[in-house]
Structure 1
Amino acid sequence: MNPIQEYFYRIKEPERSTLLFLRQKILESDKENITEPLSFGLPFFKYKKKMLCYLYYSKKHKKHYVSFYHGDRIEHPELIQEGRKKFKILLIEMEKDLPVELILSLIQEVKTYIK
């Protein structure tokens, strides 16, 4: 098992399936340019080898989230900065429908800031 598979394997169900589905959608959104190396021990999505976003768990909020690089430039009511300089996070409500379209549109917006 590679390190990325191990990361997801450690997450309990049903969160694991939700995050794996989201991972698949992010990777499929731009197969040629989005890669998924393990950075800082996390599955980190990169666009043309530049930081894009990553998945993690907030102990404070007790929820998984997607953290967007250049989030400081994005204005959206559901994004939380909480003192981060370059990132904003979107908490994932596991009990609700996954906001795939919102996440993919935020990724598209982040891509516009990557040179």
Structure 2
Amino acid sequence: MLSNIDNFYFKKEEPLQSCLLALKEIILSQNKDITSAWKYGMPFFCYKGKMFCYLWVHKKTLQPYMGIVEGKHFNHPKLVIEKRSRMKIMLFDADKELPVKTIQLIIQQAIDLYKTGVVPLKTK
């Protein structure tokens, strides 16, 4: 039986499925402390146990996107806030090649927020 996370990816039609799976791999490959989790009915990625990004499909445009939980703390021209107060998203075209270097840069910026203490990590 597939997990909720696996179901999320494998129930999507192509090219959406391949795009989301590629995004998942790009995110997980950025740092050994990044883990995948199922939270709020969607695939989240945590850095040292703290949620920092997630994948979803935009309701209006049907485009896949990566949401950055603490996106309000930094600016990047590819990140949009829409009507969110805290999170910013980066939309993708599932039919086009992913901008891997831009994704990696944004993920590193998000991780840096946690490393520098701007966003506190959980203490055990």
TM-score (norm 1): 0.92
Q: Which runs of 4+ in 1 moved over 4 A?
A: none
Number of the residue aligned with 1:21: 22
Number of the residue aligned with 1:81: 81
- Structure 1 unaligned regions, length at least 5: none
Structure 2 counterparts to residues 1-115 of structure 1, below 5 A: 1-31=2-32, 33-114=33-114, 115=120
State how far apart, in whole Å, the 2-side matches of 1:18 and 1:60 are: 18
Q: List per-residue Cα deviations over 1:40-94 (Å, max 9, x = no partner).
A: 1111000001111000011122211100011111211221101211100000112
Deviates further, 34-43 or 68-77: 68-77
State how far apart, in whole Å, the 1-side matches of 2:59 and 2:83 are: 16
State how far apart, in whole Å, the 1-side matches of 2:18 and 2:97 are: 13
Percent identity between matched residues is 37
TM-score (norm 2): 0.86
- Structure 2 unaligned regions, length at least 5: 115-119
- CA displacement at 1:22 relative to structure 2: 1.5
State how far apart, in whole Å, the 1-side matches of 2:26 and 2:111 are: 16
